[in-house]
A and B are shown apart, each in its own frame.
Chain A
Amino acid sequence: MSNLLDLLVAGLATGAIYAIVAVGFTLLWQTSQTINFAQGEFVMLPAFLMLAVMHVGAPFWLAIILGILLSLLLLGLGFKLLLVDPMLRHGVLPLAIATMALAIGIKEAVKQFFSAEASPFPSIVPVGDVSVLGRVVSLQSLGVLALAIAAVIGLTALLNRTSIGHQMQATAQNPTVARIIGVPVERMILLTFLINAFLVALASLLITPIYLAKFSSGEVLGQAAFIAAIVGGFNQVRGAIAGGLLIGVVDNLAAAYVSTQYRAAVPLILLIVIILFRPQGLLGRPEERTV
């Protein structure tokens, strides 16, 4: 077990990115019953938006800012107004199918307008190795881990410490009651969409330097985030965080110790076992069946 520390750090780093994506996913589900099957593509797109801005000669930092703003506009506001709002009254399933179509649309648009080839993407944390406890660990993994943890802490602080966060939680738990006690429910739902857009842009910024920018990279990411969200608890933000970290670590350890061919199977088997024995997820609340 010479490289267990390496594997753990790398696993936590990817896991933290999954956690960010999964948190956005659960927020959308909680406030507006949206199962976003395009979440993986939502992570893929901002990297390409940033690359596009850099293509016209802008520096990296400006590309990041514009990329995040475009993401808020397209994946937050646009997604809510153009797709979710008109579809919401039709129920969960048609909306889920519509987001599948959206995933195809985003993927094809990127393939058509940018490139079908994988493009390199600059890293926002320095590349290199650093010595921790006498072992050499990738600086990139540590940097990604640190930024992702900072984002998660910031988000939980927003949700638990601020009055906006409390209003958002009230909206998530029971929109009708929240409306009665004076919470601007519509504004809170819009805010969750914007937060999701910001989180996917951040995840994009962190993960693309590791796996390159490719139009098809959203499939794997989206699936990892779904699994993380379900394993941790579909209706709990902290569940999604725990699930993300768990899936990241399990995935990396499985690749090293089980088999590289079936590494993708290990989190799935974990998922099936958890759904069968604890369908609400490790940290989730059970959702009542309606008659």
Chain B
Amino acid sequence: MTWSGKHLRIALGVAVVAALIIVPMNFNRYGLYILSQWAVMTIAAMGLNLTLGYAGQVSLAQGAFVGIGAYAAAIMTTQGLPLVAALAVAVALCFAIGWILGYPALRVQHHYLAFVTLAFSTLAFLVFRNEDWLTKGIYGISNIPRPNVMGFATNRPLPFYYFCLGSLGIVSLAMWWLIRSPWGRAFVALRENPVRALSLGIDTRRYTLMAFAIGSALGGVAGTLYAPLTQYIDPVPFNLSLSLDLLMMVIVGGSGFFFGPFLGAAIAVLLPEWLRFTQGYYLMLYAVAVMLLLIYSPTGILGVLNRYLTERRTKAASALRAVAKSRLETAP
């Protein structure tokens, strides 16, 4: 990457962040709700991207972790406890369950692992629906309060959106640091070739479990934001289809790319809204769009971009080579 390219990237990043802060100021309540949802789902998808994109473990349980986080937040904050306490409980709980769920990953791979996590996801849904004493079953939990952040109430949509965006920012920075740390490199080594990673002295067992646990914990973080966002939760949003949606977000955005989940969540959350003018057809068009994208580029949108940039760079390089060669040949 040349200096100008790096500067360009930083400028682009600053512009996007500024736009995310300034543009929604005159959005209506619904627009802010959708954008907040995008921020929340991005956090959950980032967790899955760590498990899938970096450590190469397929998980169909991310929606269940969002559910666990949401129920922790709903139950604790309606009892008058602060959201921070719920966040701590949710992270600890999801980390522990994620760690345990990682154990099958040590024994089985790929589609088998997908089905173990799928089973867990369905079990979690059944618990949400049937344990009335804890989750109020199908009636759900309503009047979930929104938190006060450093003395500021976030009851209104705009402050709560900033709260979600800020949380996304913090999680992004932590993730950025994580994937550049030796841990992150160990995760990638694990994905690329588990046997070689083992021979390089990477404790593959521990890192597999760790990838699952951290990814799951981020699902819990997203859940603790989801509950105060909707202010009402019941089991339905946390069924298997949320896990499938999150998996689709990661793949469509570009799994293993840092910004993949941001784009994937934007497409999964915003595209159906933009297609709403087509009325009943919007989910159908969304499905077709996803299939066409995957046929064209299985590595997702960032995969297309990456391929394009690499091609352009190779072309530029070979052009330079050609020029140099012709100069050599025409030289007296």
B295 nearest in chain A by CB position: A86
Across the interface, do A101 and B110 meet the contact criterion of CB distance under 8 Å?
no
Question: Which residues of chain B come closer than 8 Å to A94, judged between CB atoms?
Answer: 251, 294, 298-299
Across the interface, do B116 and A272 meet the contact criterion of CB distance under 8 Å?
yes
Answer whether A100 and B193 are a contact pair too, CB < 8 Å, given A109-B284, A268-B119. no
* A223 CA to B119 CA, complexed, in Å: 9
Across the interface, do A226 and B118 meet the contact criterion of CB distance under 8 Å?
yes
Across the interface, do B119 and A272 meet the contact criterion of CB distance under 8 Å?
yes
Majority-rule SS of A interface residues: helix
B286 nearest in chain A by CB position: A104
Across the interface, do A105 and B284 meet the contact criterion of CB distance under 8 Å?
yes
Question: Which of B283, B298, B299 has most chain A Cβ within 10 Å?
Answer: B298
Across the interface, do A261 and B130 meet the contact criterion of CB distance under 8 Å?
yes
Across the interface, do B298 and A111 meet the contact criterion of CB distance under 8 Å?
no
With an 8 A cutoff between CB atoms, is B281 at the interface?
Answer: yes
How many positions in chain B have a CB within 8 Å of any CB in the partner chain? Answer: 41
Question: Which residues of chain A come closer than 8 Å to B122, judged between CB atoms?
Answer: 223, 264-265, 268
With an 8 A cutoff between CB atoms, is A276 at the interface?
Answer: yes
The listed residue (B119, B126, B281, B290) touching A112 by CB distance below 8 A is B281
With an 8 A cutoff between CB atoms, is B8 at the interface?
Answer: no
Across the interface, do B251 and A271 meet the contact criterion of CB distance under 8 Å?
no
The listed residue (B116, B129, B240) touching A275 by CB distance below 8 A is B116
Across the interface, do A111 and B280 meet the contact criterion of CB distance under 8 Å?
yes
Across the interface, do B295 and A230 meet the contact criterion of CB distance under 8 Å?
no
Q: What mask results when residues 251 to 291 of chain A are scored 1 for a CB within 8 Å of chain B, else 0? A: 00000000001101100110110011001000000000101
* A226 CA to B248 CA, complexed, in Å: 19
Question: Which residues of chain B come closer than 8 Å to A92, judged between CB atoms?
Answer: 110-111
* A268 CA to B281 CA, complexed, in Å: 34
The listed residue (B107, B240, B241) touching A279 by CB distance below 8 A is B107
Question: Which of B112, B120, B241 has most chain A Cβ within 10 Å?
Answer: B112
The listed residue (B58, B107, B240, B294) touching A101 by CB distance below 8 A is B294
Question: Which residues of chain B come closer than 8 Å to A42, judged between CB atoms?
Answer: none
Answer whether A97 and B123 are a contact pair too, CB < 8 Å, given A87-B298, A275-B104, A276-B107. no
* A276 CA to B117 CA, complexed, in Å: 12
With an 8 A cutoff between CB atoms, is B244 at the interface?
Answer: yes
Question: Which residues of chain A come closer than 8 Å to B115, judged between CB atoms?
Answer: 226-227, 230, 271, 275
Question: Which of A35, A83, A100, A112 has most chain B Cβ within 10 Å?
Answer: A100
Across the interface, do B248 and A108 meet the contact criterion of CB distance under 8 Å?
no
* A264 CA to B121 CA, complexed, in Å: 12
With an 8 A cutoff between CB atoms, is A59 at the interface?
Answer: no
Answer whether A104 and B287 are a contact pair too, CB < 8 Å, given A230-B115, A264-B122, A275-B116. yes
* A138 CA to B59 CA, complexed, in Å: 41
The listed residue (B123, B244, B288, B299) touching A100 by CB distance below 8 A is B244
Across the interface, do B287 and A108 meet the contact criterion of CB distance under 8 Å?
yes
* A265 CA to B120 CA, complexed, in Å: 9
User: In the complex, how many angstroms separate the beta carbon of A103 from the nearest chain B beta carbon?
Assistant: 8
Across the interface, do B119 and A271 meet the contact criterion of CB distance under 8 Å?
yes
Question: Which residues of chain B come closer than 8 Å to A289, judged between CB atoms?
Answer: 109
Q: What mask results when residues 280 to 311 of chain B are scored 1 for a CB within 8 Å of chain A, else 0? A: 11011011101100110011000000000000
Question: Which residues of chain A come closer than 8 Å to B104, judged between CB atoms?
Answer: 272, 275-276
* A90 CA to B293 CA, complexed, in Å: 13
* A90 CA to B303 CA, complexed, in Å: 12
* A227 CA to B122 CA, complexed, in Å: 12
With an 8 A cutoff between CB atoms, is B188 at the interface?
Answer: no
Across the interface, do B295 and A87 meet the contact criterion of CB distance under 8 Å?
yes
Across the interface, do B281 and A105 meet the contact criterion of CB distance under 8 Å?
no
With an 8 A cutoff between CB atoms, is B247 at the interface?
Answer: yes
With an 8 A cutoff between CB atoms, is B195 at the interface?
Answer: yes
Question: Which residues of chain B come closer than 8 Å to A223, judged between CB atoms?
Answer: 118, 122, 240
Answer whether A275 and B112 are a contact pair too, CB < 8 Å, given A97-B247, A101-B248, A105-B291. yes
Within 8 A of A (CB), among B255-302: 280-281, 283-284, 286-288, 290-291, 294-295, 298-299
* A83 CA to B114 CA, complexed, in Å: 21
Question: Which of A96, A102, A108 has most chain B Cβ within 10 Å?
Answer: A108
The listed residue (B109, B281, B283) touching A104 by CB distance below 8 A is B283
A108-B280, A108-B281 given. 14 additional CB < 8 A pairs?
A83-B295, A94-B251, A95-B294, A98-B290, A98-B291, A100-B244, A100-B247, A100-B248, A105-B283, A105-B291, A265-B122, A272-B116, A276-B108, A289-B109
A-B complex: 6 closest residue pairs judged by Cβ atoms: A105-B287, A94-B298, A90-B298, A101-B290, A268-B119, A104-B287
Interface residue ranges, A against B (CB under 8 Å): 35, 37, 83, 86-87, 90-98, 100-102, 104-105, 108-109, 111-112, 219, 223, 226-227, 230, 234, 261-262, 264-265, 268-269, 271-272, 275-276, 279, 289, 291
A sample of 7 inter-chain contacts (CB < 8 A) reads A91-B298, A105-B284, A219-B241, A271-B119, A275-B116, A276-B107, A289-B109
Interface residue ranges, B against A (CB under 8 Å): 58, 104, 107-112, 114-116, 118-120, 122-123, 126, 129-130, 193, 195, 240-241, 244, 247-248, 251-252, 280-281, 283-284, 286-288, 290-291, 294-295, 298-299
